[in-house]
Amino acid sequence: MELELIRNFSIIAHIDHGKSTLADRLLEYTGSVPPREMRDQVLDSMELERERGITIKAHLVRMNYKAKDGKDYVLNLIDTPGHVDFTYEVSRALAACEGAFLLVDASQGIEAQTISNMYLALDNNLTIIPVVNKIDIQFAMVEQVREELANLLGVDKSEVLLTSGKAGLGIEEFLSAAVERIPPPKGYYDKPLAALVIDAYYDNYRGVVAYVRVFDGYIRKGIRIRFMATGFENIVEEVGFVRLGLHPLDELGPGEVGYIIAGMKSVRDARVGDTITFADNPVSVPLVGYREAKPMVYSGLYPASGDGVEELREALEKLKLNDAAISFEPESSIALGPGFRCGFLGLLHMEIVQERLSREYKIDLVATIPNVAYRVKTKNGELLVIDNPAKLPNPAEIDTIEEPIVTSEVVTPTKYIGNIMKLITDRRGELNSTEFMESGRAIIRFTIPLAEIIFDFYDKLKSLSQGYASLDYELSGYNEADLVKLDVLVNGEPVDALSVVVHRSKAYNVGIALCTKLKELIPRQLFEVVIQAAIGSRIIARTRIPPIKKNVTAKCYGGDITRKRKLLERQKEGKKRMKQVGNVEIPQEAFFALFKIER
């Protein structure tokens, strides 16, 4: 295909600024979806995406568009997620594009992820086309936001497009801007193949399907290809383009985006970010891959019933194929048995992975409270990376502990600045600068320990600002801190899966709150249960749960039998999510108790 007629672009924006809805209009306008298959946010194909109304995965779609110059163009759109946890998905999508539309909601203005996405696009040398979206909203500040966006990018206001995905405004202007302002891809058909793996997923019938962007050379059915990093080699079975499904083509040439199927069995064969080349005539250096996804938070995942560990491993392996950012390693907990220590990009990512495991793979999980990874220097000079609080060495053996620090930005209407600054300093954050923007809002820049941001910081920020403030952060390094391990003992037995690492100044309060919360969450047993929080051998908090004697169904006697059955059913349901630790039954929520305490 002629390079001059191809445009590859992505739409980037803060979450909810209307990317997927705008994509719907582009698909309709270009006749890419049969009307009977059209539905809202049609590209969000995952069940979870539809339910939550968010985009989790990057989606590919190829459109045909006749421009004003009378030529027929192929436009490849890669829809991307907006949440901070999925920056990794965004950066992979951007590496396959020449341009990006930076969308801003006219009723919201620039948000934290607008800025971080812009930097990602600039890092990838993309042409950025600014767009003010949702201009149909009655009291939207269209002109103000247009000004703000023009200033952010240092361009003239007239270059900022105005659209509404909902009302279908500005769609023709959007598409012609793609053709006129984004450069066509460069590449050579007669050079050795160099194609980047953008994404991959496992299809039960077809095996692994990889999304690729070809830079040089071509991929055609029947040729032998090699994945450079994994070493996997095979004959190509099928290539094609993606448009709400797979559509076979004879070949994919330079500048093209599409899918390939070549007998890859797992993520070990088709790694996202890898370069595909000819097996017989390979390129000597791989394409510059993506930024490696670095896990930010860790949590232990255990099968709810003891024997499900192999199933969990298989599910994690399949999931990793589709979500390269997950990492997992086997670990064993004294309390929970065999399981995996998993790394995630953030809490939303963690939640999504857990939900996908339970929905798509029908796995009942027990998950431990998330934590960050610490760097520990021991007294005998060893350097350890600790991603599981239970593994922190004894205080007597520790020389120093370092924790991850992030640089962060909050964008907020100015009237909430005072409260937000207080929240930041309460959480051991340090303010760096505050910048005021046209629309009565400000950007607060600060550094803060990652551990302080991953818990309820975001929720607090939202409630302090009535939902208006937004947050973005990026790992910046490690700082030494006075941290201690808090252990929880149930009837004198330490429960390793409940250990947490906290700052010494907060240990006492967290200990008390944790014991109180566990008392609420752990059901009464036939015997007394004593819960203690300890630092080393020193007990700092204690609660007790008195034993039960009553038969719970007793109160139903004389009542109707279905009510009694329902009660028993409900008890059974509850039981499923319990984990037997020693002789005490602990419900799944207890492992998350720390989330629910006031800090």
Using the rule CB under 6 A, which residue among 10, 18, 33, 296 binds ligand GDP? Answer: 18
- Select from Mg ion, ligand GDP, none the partner in contact with residue 114, using the beta carbon and a kind-dependent cut-off of 5 to 8 Å: none
Angle between helices 19-29 and 171-181 (to 10 degrees): 90
The one segment of 134-142, 171-179, 389-397, 459-467 that binds ligand GDP by CB under 6 A: 134-142
- Per-residue contact flags (x/-) with ligand GDP for residues 65 to 94, judged by CB under 6 A: -----------------x------------
**Closest separation in Å from C-beta 293 to ligand GDP:** 21
Largest CA distance in the chain: 85
What does the alpha-carbon distance between residue 311 and residue 340 come to, in Å, rounded to a whole number? 12
Q: Which is nearer to ligand GDP, 55 or 368 (CB)?
A: 55
In the DSSP assignment, the letter for residue 70 is S
Among 108, 116, 117, 133, binds ligand GDP (CB under 6 A): 133
Shortest reach from residue 169's CB to ligand GDP, in Å: 8
Taking the C-alpha atoms of residue 155 and residue 458, their distance in angstroms, rounded to an integer, is 32
Looking at the Cβ atoms of 117 and 499, the one nearer to ligand GDP is 117
Residue 116 sits in the site that holds Mg ion (CB under 5 A): no
CB 163 within 8 A of CB 249: no
Query: Segment contacting Mg ion (CB under 5 A): 14-22, 67-75, 223-231, 467-475?
Result: 14-22
The amino acid that residue 175 corresponds to is L
Cβ contact 469:410 at 8 Å: yes
Closest approach of Mg ion to the CB of residue 55, in Å = 3
The two structure tokens encoding residue 3: 């390079």
What is the footprint of Mg ion within residues 46-75 (CB under 5 A)?
Answer: 55
Q: Contact, 373 vs 349, CB < 8 A? A: no
Least gap, CB of 496 to ligand GDP (angstroms): 39
Closest to ligand GDP by CB, 462 vs 506, is 462
| Closest CB 37 distance from ligand GDP, rounded Å | 18
Residue 135 or 357: the one with the smaller Cβ distance to ligand GDP is 135
Nearest-angstrom CA–CA distance, 271 and 229: 8
Listed ranges 47-55, 141-149, 233-241, 328-336: which one lies at the site for ligand GDP (CB under 6 A): 47-55
Q: According to the binding rule CB under 5 A, does residue 113 interact with Mg ion? A: no
Cα of 216 vs its chain's centroid, Å? 31
End-to-end Cα, the chain, rounded Å: 59
Q: How many residues bind Mg ion (CB under 5 A)?
A: 3
Give the nearest distance from C-beta 135 to ligand GDP in angstroms. 7
Residue number, 136 or 311, with CB nearest to ligand GDP = 136
Residues that contact ligand GDP, how many (by CB under 6 A) = 20
Q: How far is CA 406 from CA 122, 196, 363, 447, 455, in A?
A: 21, 30, 33, 6, 14
Convert 432-464 to b/e letters by CB count within 10 Å (16 or more is b).
eeeeebbeebbbbebbbbbbbbbbbbbebbeeb
Q: What is the C-alpha separation between 280 and 190, in angstroms, rounded?
A: 14
Give the H or E element holding residue 587.
strand 584-587
Residue number with CB closer to ligand GDP (116 or 447): 116
Name the residue nearer to ligand GDP (CB basis): 137 or 384.
137
**β strands within 389-521, DSSP E:** 398-413, 430-436, 441-449, 470-480, 483-490, 493-494, 500-503
Name the binder of 137 from ligand GDP, Mg ion, none, CB < 5-8 A by kind: ligand GDP
Letters for 144-173 (x = contact with ligand GDP by CB under 6 A, - = none) are --------------------xxx-------
CB of 50 to Mg ion, least distance (A): 10
User: Token pair of 191, please?
Assistant: 């050079």
CA-based nearest residue to 232, from 270, 258, 195:
270
Is 320 near ligand GDP (CB under 6 A)? no
Q: Check binding of 52 to ligand GDP (CB under 6 A).
A: no
Q: What residue 134 binds from Mg ion, ligand GDP, none (CB within 5 to 8 A, per partner kind)?
A: ligand GDP
Distance of alpha carbon 211 from the chain centroid: 19
> CA 525 to CA 198: how far, in whole Å?
52
Half-sphere exposure of 73 (CA within 13 A, CB side): 26
Name the DSSP class of 457. H
Contact region with Mg ion (CB under 5 A), list: 11-19, 60-68, 148-156, 405-413: 11-19
Q: Which stretch binds ligand GDP (CB under 6 A): 130-138, 381-389, 488-496, 556-564?
A: 130-138
| Structural tokens at position 437 | 């923007």
Which of 19, 517 has the CB closer to ligand GDP? 19
Using the rule CB under 6 A, which residue among 8, 10, 21, 543 binds ligand GDP? 21
**Which CB sits closer to ligand GDP, 165 or 217?**
165
Pick the binder of ligand GDP from 137, 437, 464, 540 (CB under 6 A).
137
Q: Is 147 helix (H, G, I), strand (E, B) or coil?
A: helix
Contact partner, 427, from ligand GDP, Mg ion, none, Cβ < 5-8 Å per class:
none
DSSP states along 5-33: GEEEEEEEESTTSSHHHHHHHHHHHTT-S
Could you tell me which residues are beta bridge partners of residue 65?
Answer: 73
Strands 538-545 and 365-367, by their bridges, are unpaired
Interface ranges with ligand GDP (CB under 6 A): 13, 15-21, 41, 53-55, 82, 133-134, 136-137, 164-166
Interface ranges with Mg ion (CB under 5 A): 19-20, 55
